[in-house]
Amino acid sequence: MERTKPEGEGIPVCVVDAMVLKIREDGRVRSRAALIATGVGEDGYREVLGMRIGDSESEASWSAFIGWLKD
C-alpha cells in the first residue's frame, strides 16, 4: 500500500497497531501481521498513513515499518 502523507499538513497524533491474519502462502496457512499506522490531523480527522505486511510483530518488523513511514 502506498503511504498517504498529506502535503503541508502536520500529523500531531500517530497511532500504530497490528492485526494478525491467517494467510495461505505456498499451499500452507501462516500467521502474518498487518502493521497499520493511523494519523489524526490538525482538523481532527483520522486517516491511514500506511500499511505493510510483516512476518510477525517482532522488533525488526516494527523498526522496518517505522523507518518506511519516515521516508
pLDDT tens-digit readout, 8-26: 567 888 899 999 999 998 9
Indicate if the pLDDT at residue 7 is higher than 70. no
Domain count, the chain: 1
Question: Is residue 25 included in any domain, yes or no?
Answer: yes
H helix or E strand, kind and range, residue 28:
strand 28-40
Q: Average per-residue pLDDT in the chain? A: 87
Question: Is residue 2 included in any domain, yes or no?
Answer: no
Question: Is residue 44 included in any domain, yes or no?
Answer: yes
Distance CA 3, CA 39 (A): 11
Residue 24: which domain range?
13-70
| Percent of the residues in the chain that have a pLDDT greater than 70, as a whole number | 87
- Which one has a higher pLDDT value, 49 or 4? 49
- Which one has a higher pLDDT value, 51 or 70? 51
Tell me what pLDDT residue 12 has.
83
